[in-house]
Amino acid sequence: MRIAYVSTYLPKQCGIATYTDYLIGGIKEEAPELQIKVVAERGASPVKEGKFEVIPCWDRNEDYVEPIIKHTKDVDVIHIQHEYSIYKFDDRLPLVLQGLDANTKKVITIHCLRPAQFSERGAVDENFAGRIAQLADRAIVHLESQKAILARLGIPPGKIHIIPHGTELSDEEKKAARKRLNLPAEGRILLMFGFVKKHKCLHIVLEALVDILKKFKDTHLFVAGGLAPRASQKDREYAESIGRKIAELGLEKSVIYPNSFFPNEDVPYLFGASDIVLFPYYEEDRSASGSFHLAIGAKKPIIASRIPKFEELKNICDELLVLPYNSSGIAGIVIRLFEDQEFWQYVVDRTEEYRRLTSWRAVASQHLDLYRGTFRNF
């Protein structure tokens, strides 16, 4: 079987590029005999190694139809990794899907689905997703809520497949990780990871921390991230307000807030150093979270908002989901995890099960089953 992935790719700093790289790594482990090509957006590094090739040949700001079709003529399966900001909303991607060789089977992973009522463009987002799913032979999504939207848009249920976001497994030892990152060797650490943005609700966690410290004075909140390189003025103002709120609540000694970027090589240690990882976000996009799966991969208990983005957490323990903006709920779960050893162990054991179930190799195997089951001539 010859597979072409259409995607951004490394070293481009893009979540879809990283996702595609992890997926290909799993595919190579499961089926090393396959020929794999990445028809990548420019900015990726060209590669030609045995049965693996990366061809940077298109740009999101140009007419990418002809170069993508040109470089996928010799494959059996073309698998497009879709995200709105990459392909936009015009006719180019539909023309790619319509212009592919008739013998080429078309798979598309729709990473994000935005319902009309929550988009500044109205129904444009969801209708575009429905259009490209209809043109593909198979559509992959990560969440039940995404499948429901596509089904409402008229995509046949048999065409839609839920395959979870993959999980990179890591097992960095806590003490060594803290030493590497110059974090407190003793005490408890709660982690928030990634760029600081208002929808991630760091201010709510600060309020929760006040209650947590009443029971566990050795608790620290580690905010492992800072402003995005192209942060909006609103995000900059929010980051400044966080500094003020830390002072107002008297949390200077309990919050580690370097407001800086951590390179990829530090990421396993960030999770390894922590005790609990927090995702108290509030957003309406239907999309899975790579950071969430990194926390699962490190076998860390997670507390997250009860929103579609983190609906997978119910597969580990529904009791770890809390309504948005509920600082007392976050505090209550943290305190129970620290106080109730049986509950802690239950969560850790369930997290271990789920990280194995969603490992990149396991997810790659599900992709291969889909390719082979759909296209039985391979």
Cα dihedral sign, 47-51-57-59: negative
Q: Give the chain's mean pLDDT.
A: 95
pLDDT of residue 264: 85
| pLDDT cut 90: percent of the chain above it | 92
What domains can be seen in the chain, in order of their start residue?
2-166+359-374 (3.40.50.2000), 174-357 (3.40.50.2000)
167-208 confidence digits (pLDDT tens): 999 999 999 999 999 999 999 999 999 989 999 999 999 999
Which region among 229-233, 280-284, 336-340 has the lowest average model confidence (pLDDT)?
A: 229-233
For the cut 50, the answer to whether the pLDDT of residue 91 exceeds it is yes
Band (25; pLDDT cuts 50, 70, 90): very high
**Confidence band of 230 (pLDDT split at 50, 70, 90):** confident
Region 342-352: mean pLDDT is: 98
Mean local confidence (pLDDT), 278-294 = 96
Q: What is the DSSP string of 52-64?
A: EEEEEEE-TTS--
Interior/surface letters 122-145, b for 16+ CB within 10 angstroms, e for the rest: eeebbebbbbbbbbbebbbbbbeb
Please tell me the predicted confidence (pLDDT) of residue 378.
43
Binned at pLDDT 50, 70 and 90, residue 374 comes out as low
With a cut of 70, say whether residue 50 has pLDDT above it.
Answer: yes
pLDDT at 377 over 70: no
C-alpha span between 2 and 270 (Å, rounded): 37
